[in-house]
Structure 1
């Protein structure tokens, strides 16, 4: 039994799984798992920095005792971290909300997700999502709070029709802001700008009656009501995406102190009355400062001989907003305890990107600069940067009995790893199109962690801020096209990219958190430099809505090259809700053939097949690839998903892609479902641009 098979077990007895795998190799992954599926609560904040959370950074500022460095506290999040795991090198998939959320929800990197750059309100692709995979895994699913991926006319989706509401993407229930812009303010019917905002329950606009409802409280109260109903029903596990719109944008204050107690009887509560929908919908909107910050002072000139001055109101507002999130976390955790489901609920807390300097406050307010609290932590960069401070986010996971207390996960990981992590927790392999890996081995300590892909691309005009905390080279730095890849535990970084030939800066961020020492000039890293340049072309598909300067570069071939014709194949049993990523399943057959049509699909008692090998490109150039399959299929060349014929695929429909290949050999993986036991379940052909004929693909394997 290989390491991947061993690492997948999460039940009470690893030995039992080994026995099952040995005696019944045709068992699917789901049948090897503990049959109890955890509830999953994923809490997402908007523009919350790594450095904003006590245990990640703010507690260190407090301990330093430097009056020139104000600090905040997050006691409930600190408690959550101590009862589970801190992921200290967790990355957002993009440094701004829309693409970051799209990658999180789809399980795809920014090299494959359909929402990139600043494409706010673009429709999330109609494919696998956290909602529909968990829905098909037997979960009740919901979204509370900010969405912003519904589609609108800017992206030519049905003349502005909302084709991608949460209920269109696998969520049974939605309560929140549908449009991105609405999340800039935190009162549906009031607010400092009093702009037009709409709150939706599923597909019905329900803003009327939400007077004086601070959204941080509103989403929490509505989420508590839904969790309570599901727990009391108890017939199925639930998945909730609790998507706060704070502390982003307008730094509006709550109406009053957070109600005491928390849980079923205390904290914020759903009242359900028009004009008083929740129990904090009274008093004066935008009026309450947390007492820890209301009269806080600091040493503004770093001179202990002069008197301290009050914090500017902007930062009192920011700290109150962060503390309100912390209060909500404590409230929800108390609810899980009251409902006796805290031990059967996997809770994950994270943020969509690094801290923002935007505050959207009226004239006269000080700008919300993240360097007041050093919200970026020990890193350089803020929201819209692919420097560490813009993409490294505070992340906590708690699952009593499975994730040990006080655990610290230092291995790098990224937000699109959560989809395979959650399917793994539910006892299923991830969809074959996923770019992520399950993090359960790192979180639980059971099995070996697969190496994941940490890759980010993004475009933004403007420059980085000129903060004295940043390394000199990272101040007032031109952004434009940016890219990041992690290889061999080193970060490859490019800013203001002009072409695919631009060198990567290379950093060891475990030692150089400010990214001030570029290692790229070291001769020992010349090979890694070239590998990074090749790798970023082997893991992404260009998107005409987000053009990059390296889109037209040929995809590099491999060295050394295989010479023997053929493909290696493996077959798998099981019955899964989607075409599974088979790498972690136990195969029940295998072999090597020169022609995939010679595999006796109709004689093998399996529904799933994985074919691996290489295709030969004899002439560098643009190629037209055509593919069709009698059933579900995924085709990857290198780590590029070329054909996704799984979710919504019409069997036997031909798909076509144009790709620019370098001469040589390119690895290919074909994931197939063949429940009809067809002798020739797929057709794949290549045609060089300018050629008059289409040729079948010849496959090769490495000699062993």
Structure 2
């Protein structure tokens, strides 16, 4: 299911759509939409090999745009991955490198528990893609999950370039979840009476879709940046119903619910695509779709059973929190009607730091600093083969860990100063055979790159002790 041949066959099978003709030359800068799923694995969509859950609208994005077979998130968990996406920096340089920090940040409680957590948060000196685009004349909006505020009141989306925000924040226990009793609009808490007293009246993913459609409608006449950040299918597994999977024989209720969560996510994406079409914005809008990390929100027996049932990591090794491919390789699709050839497939490795320079290139702006590269040329010319570059990740749960990618080579280090594992992803995408002993020159190059890219910070000082 992880083979390029499978994906090419799937693209051919789901539709035989002709390539779009290039639009007439114009001066309008494209709208930019980034749709982010939460804890959706590389193998959770049909176009990437999923056999039990239908995802026709995500498949449609791939059919009409470019599918990346080697697209990566910014980190193996939510907070640092989203930080990488927003700042264009990898986790050797970002402010947030784990959902918790060793220093800096602020202490607070989570979900009503008395246990104190130290959460990192963005600081005024950090700059997001929304701030760049806002300065370039784009109207900016975030609908859904932010996860970069920690317990800091001044680290909310409106402080970091978003003209509009409707969603939830870590610092307000009433706002997370699928049936929240409150929601944040800008910097204000708004009650959701339909969910008061434990009622399940309004489903959070539906609200994200509704708010995104409303944003598009109100800003269709000028360039906009919309970040649509869904909760789904992050735990806990809950949905309004089992959807089209209610009668699946032999499926446990958890499996029906997980499939329904992805179904409703996919339906929401379909509504966004329909809105762009009815508003006449298909050719004026670049859409990115990805997930923030691998599947399985927590390593419980229940969740492991569910994602293994669906082969959510697409046959790759690892889950969320792992530095192996199953933890960081994700679905990655970009559609730009009239510019990206329909049905294009790229095996060029890309990752979240690339979004910021790509978005700014599309907007005619330049970043002050970034660890990524603009993908604009690759998007409009799939035959373009950029030179191999060094991709880097680090993570701190349960202790300091690193991963790197250079060409076909993938390196993993599971503890500070520990041995470096090396894998040839071209011949071994499942990372089943450590070939470090056979390639000391490559190991040395990867180790040098890891040392170069890691920069300690107040939040993550050296040496970084193990947690717990």
Normalising to structure 1: TM-score of the pair? Answer: 0.57
Alignment match, 2:318: 381
Structure 1's unaligned 5+ residue stretches are 1-11, 14-32, 63-70, 153-160, 190-197, 255-287, 298-309, 462-479, 552-704
- Bigger fraction of residues in helix: 2
- Bigger fraction of residues in strand: 1
Counterpart-to-counterpart distance in 2, 1:539 and 1:358: 29
Alignment match, 1:515: 431
- Higher gyration radius (CA): 1
- Shift of residue 81 of structure 1? 0.6
User: Which of 170, 177, 186 is equivalent to 2:168?
Assistant: 177
**Are 1:436 and 1:453, in contact at CA under 8 Å, matched by a contact in 2?**
no
Q: Residue 85 and residue 483 in structure 1: after superposition, are their counterparts in 2 closer, same or farther (change >3 A)?
A: same
Q: Residue 366 and residue 351 in structure 1: after superposition, are their counterparts in 2 closer, same or farther (change >3 A)?
A: closer
Alignment match, 1:214: 203
Runs of 4+ in 1 over 3 A off after TM superposition: 180-184, 208-211, 357-361, 365-369, 446-453, 547-551
Tell whether 2:458 aligns with 1:539.
no
Write the mapping of 1:273-288 to structure 2, written as runs, cut at 5 A.
Answer: 288=241
- Shift of residue 368 of structure 1? 5.3
1:501-521 residue CA offsets vs partner (Å, 9 max, x unmatched): x33211111221211111111
Counterpart-to-counterpart distance in 2, 1:457 and 1:183: 29
1:104-156 residue CA offsets vs partner (Å, 9 max, x unmatched): 1011110110111222853223322011011111100000001121242xxxx
**Are 1:93 and 1:103, in contact at CA under 8 Å, matched by a contact in 2?**
yes
Alignment match, 2:368: 432
SS of residue matched to 1:185: coil
- Shift of residue 449 of structure 1? 3.3
Tell whether 2:363 aligns with 1:371.
no
Aligned length in residues: 418
Higher-RCO chain (CA-CA 8 Å, sequence separation at least 6): 2
Counterpart-to-counterpart distance in 1, 2:256 and 2:288: 27
SS of residue matched to 1:536: helix
Counterpart-to-counterpart distance in 2, 1:252 and 1:535: 42
Q: Residue 224 and residue 367 in structure 1: after superposition, are their counterparts in 2 closer, same or farther (change >3 A)?
A: same
> For the aligned residues, what is the CA RMSD?
2.4
Alignment match, 1:345: 285
Alignment match, 1:248: 234
User: Which of 20, 34, 40 is equivalent to 1:48?
Assistant: 40
**Are 1:481 and 1:548, in contact at CA under 8 Å, matched by a contact in 2?**
no
Alignment match, 2:246: 294
User: Which of 188, 191, 195 is equivalent to 1:204?
Assistant: 188
SS of residue matched to 1:545: coil
Counterpart-to-counterpart distance in 1, 2:157 and 2:402: 30
Alignment match, 1:327: 267
- Shift of residue 548 of structure 1? 5.1
Structure 2's unaligned 5+ residue stretches are 1-21, 101-117, 196-200
Alignment match, 2:104: none
- Shift of residue 84 of structure 1? 0.3
**Are 1:456 and 1:485, in contact at CA under 8 Å, matched by a contact in 2?**
yes
Counterpart-to-counterpart distance in 1, 2:139 and 2:180: 27
Counterpart-to-counterpart distance in 2, 1:405 and 1:374: 27
Normalising to structure 2: TM-score of the pair? Answer: 0.84
Counterpart-to-counterpart distance in 2, 1:415 and 1:39: 19
Counterpart-to-counterpart distance in 1, 2:338 and 2:262: 29
SS of residue matched to 1:101: helix
Alignment match, 1:318: 258
